[in-house]
A and B are shown apart, each in its own frame.
Chain A
Amino acid sequence: MSGVTASPRALKDPAGSAVARLEVIHHPIVRVVARRLAMAIPLLFIVSASSFVLVSLTPGDAAQSILGLNAPQDAVVRLRHALGLDNPIYVQYWDWLKHALHGDFGTSVVTGETVTHAIDARLPPTLALIVGAFLLGSTIGVGLGVLSALRGGALGRAVDAFALAGFALPAFWLGAILIAVFAVKLRWFPATGYVAFADSPSGWLNSLVLPVVALSVGAIAAIAKQTRASMLEVLSSEHIRMAWANGLSPRSIVFRHALKNAALPVIAVVGVQAVWLLGGTVVIESVFALPGLGSLLVSSSIQHDLPVVEGIAIYFTVIIVLISLLTDLAYSWLNPRVRAQ
């Protein structure tokens, strides 16, 4: 009966809190975190191993691309040996894994920079994009969905139309339109480029507005649509009818009782959206020429810089695991039945 464990909302009961102390290890939140982390390890292993195998299939070879196509063959062979590329694939993977566990993902074959260093330098714009688009997407999406569920009629149809438009407008084209209107024509924001926060906080904010908007429209649309649908469903449910019958205040009915129950499917959509925002950064960073992980991934892919590609894949996987963890936590916080399992 984990539902009986202590919670801030529970009424005071001295005997109950003693029980709660004993049950800390079995606390549902602890279990949720443990379960998600247990899933993360095989996921990271699969991603790294499969990308490693994939890379080994590559027709080109790092030694060749470092030295150029016209390099003498014995030099290529020597470099290949120096890089460990002549070992069997599982030995190479093991070496890579050992280093990776110590935070060493090797060096870029193009710039010679360590992969960790290259990635860390590119992380801030990408994180700013993801966090910004996530916040914008979930707040405006949920707000719009609730509003349209309550008002219905024209606003409801508008949200449905917006959801369809959000599905149909590719983020890169939306970005292009924003640049054409707000950067080229109105000159409110810079068209491209990134200003570090440390250099100029206002410049940083300005450089992020358009990309964040372009990235979040799809998420806003999807979240608004789901929020509207589940709010409508919950508002017509029996316990909401009984809440009205018992004279609860409309504000409490809508924002406490309806929204909390409507939140579960919305959280699921928000989680999926957050993961897909990651993919969106790849395109958006190219549109706005932001020096982030996504544009690094694209340029490394074109330049065949496999250690960097692999390192970014691992980073993105870690971010995804964190997003899933947050989704799970939100889910179990909102749903007592999940917690009780």
Chain B
Amino acid sequence: MSAVTSVVEEVAPAAAAGPAASPRFLRRLLRRPVAIACLAYLALIVVIAIVAPIALPHVAGEDAGDLTAVHQGPSGAHLLGTDTLGRDVLDRLLVGTRVTMAGVAEALVVVLALGVPLGLAAGYFGGWIDRLVTWLADLTFSIPAIILIVVVLSVFPQSMPAAMVTLGVIMAPALMRVVRAATLPVRQELSVAAAQVSGLSRPYIITRHVLPRISGALIVQVALLSGVALLVQTGLAFLGLVVPAPAPSWGGMVADGIGAIDIQSWLIWPPGIVIALTILACGLLGDVVRDATTENWAPVVRRPRARRSARARRGSHAPAETDRLGSPAAGDGAPDAETLLAIERLSIAFRTSSARVPVLVDVSFDVRAGETVGLVGESGCGKTITAMAVLGLLPGTATVESGRIRFGEHDLASVGELGLRAIRGKEIGLISQEPMISLDPAFRVGSQLTEAVRRHHRVSRRAAQERVLELLGQVQLPDPSLVARRYPHELSGGMAQRVAIARALAGEPQLLIADEPTTALDVTVQAEVLDLLREIQRERGMAILLVTHDWGVVADMCDRAVVMYAGEVVERADLLPMFREPRHPYTEALLASNPHHVVDAEALPTIPGSVPQPGEWPRGCHFHPRCTYATDACREAPIALEQIGSRHETRCIHHDRLARAT
């Protein structure tokens, strides 16, 4: 029965479920109407299973009812009609609940008795126990339950316990896996470690510390396995293998219905609907419990990118403050001939139906042909979002709200998805922070590069392959044809970044966006990759927009730098002025904390605090809570970007004090 797959799939998410069975969890669960409905329905079924055979004692043994009233439709006397032998369908459905539920209960007892202890042992002790248990689980996954049960039933005719115990044994590994996966992380946690140190016995630790923590995953699995057990039980009853006539059972009643299907097809509906509803209740309950246990961990699903930039509205929802504040440079005039990329007062926000969270406010800067511009700041300042906006690849619900991204003739903020596709890779290349995961793991390097070359140039496959070897040679990989045959996982980080650069060069772009290109690499490899970028730039006259938090990289590579903080450009200057006389306190603090090749600029020793998240930006200057120069004026109103020298702007009203200090 197909349901087992669903059980298999649940393993991973359920395993991720952490602490669950707290009262808080129960309350969270009961806040969901679906959970209450499922629990109420299942409780009703259990009550019927207990009460019905007692209240209707004659039904189970009834061979025939009123033979003058067979095959009746629903009526006042028989709410669900009568069957082929004139027996009341509702009575049989109610009484048949017991045998069905009893079968499910038998299977569950076996599943829990085997699965929980074995899973706990495998997860807690590891080693050969773990390997044995995992091997057993793999083995049983390849056994079709019904077939094995029918074989068992040929030896124990009409024995439901034999059938359901067998089912329990077959299903136990599914539970075992989940318990094992849920136990592994719990075991390594501090509370358990502490308990071990204080000399508590293992059984005590398992029952008191581990078991409560994995119960969320356990409930999910038990709910799903109940559904599977119900499916198998009704299937066996349908085949007439476990419930001897005339006793009623849900599955048996469907079989009776098929027997009379051309006379009265109504008979298949009542038992079928009850079976489906009960399995549905189990399945839904499992889903809801899983959602409740993983509530705090909701991954943001990145939606397809189509039409995103088409949606970009220019100026329509510009925040009031950006309208008041001028942007002195790179402003409204036409960019000069040398300017390749001009970002003009770009504002971006995450939009949901209920909220709008700005992440980029009024960002302006430009990149001229052939030069290298550094985009500097801590993580969370909006550097990457700015770079991605250029390519029209904003994450999630981020939307360009106002501003322009001029690239040659085009405004990339309004050119639309089709226009962007003509530019991505061909006019603007991208290399990213994580070279290892930026290549498709399933294809050889050569195949990926060939695709990129052929996408941008109309050449034959053979010519493209030659071009690929050429490109791999240009990024100074020692043996291009060997590298071309490799899969990404067979490359080192430095090699992978060279391959990524080769791919970005495939379209011969005028602008290369390099998003933290060396962060993930070893220090020695960093220098090599930077040298390579410089060399390629010299050869091709390509411009580079370098996103980084490393001043060492900026000093090494850049002609100019743009410093960003909390969604704003706070300072723009040529390289030397930026280093010698920073005129924004944030730039000053960044430089003080990371003068040379210091890799980790996440913590700023000279200034306390951290970058505020979008949506939590303070009023006035975004930096003022961390700023030693801050005065009341900084807290009151947004600060404008001010021109303070030729090609030097700062968003600070105290830049004179900084100038005196340096």
Contacts and interface: CB of A to CB of B under 8 A. Distances in A.
B155 A58 contact: yes
A239 B437 contact: yes
Given A232-B301, A269-B8, A304-B154, A171 B261 contact: no
A211 interface: no
A191 B262 contact: yes
Contacts of B487: 3, 336-337, 340
B302 interface: yes
Contacts of B305: 244
Contacts of B391: 244-245
Interface stretch (A76-84, A176-184, A195-203): A176-184
A247 B447 contact: no
A283 interface: yes
Interface residues of A, number: 101
A218 B276 CA distance: 13
The B interface is mostly helix, strand or loop, or mixed, namely helix
A8 B565 CA distance: 50
B168 interface: no
Interface string A4-32: 10010111110010000000000000000
Interface stretch (A49-57, A89-97, A98-106, A114-122): A49-57
| B interface, size bucket | 35 or more
Contact of A10 (B258, B301, B302, B485): B485
A175 B272 CA distance: 11
Interface in B455-506: 455-456, 465, 468-469, 481-482, 484-487, 489-490, 500, 503-504, 506
Contact of B304 (A235, A245, A324): A235
A248 B438 CA distance: 14
B2 A276 contact: yes
Nearest to B2: A218
Contact of B486 (A4, A164, A283): A4
A336 B443 CA distance: 8
Interface of A: 1, 3-4, 7, 9-13, 16, 43, 51, 54-55, 57-58, 150, 152, 163-173, 175-177, 179-180, 184-185, 191, 218-219, 221-222, 225-226, 229, 232, 235-239, 241-250, 252, 256-257, 260-261, 265, 268-269, 272-273, 275-280, 282-283, 286-287, 294, 297-298, 300-302, 304-306, 309-310, 312-313, 316, 320, 324, 334-337, 340
10 closest A-B pairs by beta carbon, nearest first, are A247-B425, A218-B2, A279-B144, A301-B154, A247-B424, A236-B302, A279-B146, A180-B265, A173-B272, A245-B430
18 contacts: A1-B490, A51-B151, A172-B234, A172-B235, A173-B271, A184-B265, A238-B437, A239-B440, A242-B439, A246-B455, A247-B421, A275-B144, A278-B144, A283-B146, A283-B238, A286-B238, A300-B154, A305-B154
Interface of B: 1-6, 8-9, 139, 141-148, 150-155, 157, 227, 231, 234-235, 238-241, 251, 254-255, 257-258, 261-262, 265, 268, 271-272, 275-277, 279-280, 283-284, 287, 301-306, 391, 393, 421-426, 429-430, 432, 434, 437-444, 446-447, 451-452, 455-456, 465, 468-469, 481-482, 484-487, 489-490, 500, 503-504, 506-507
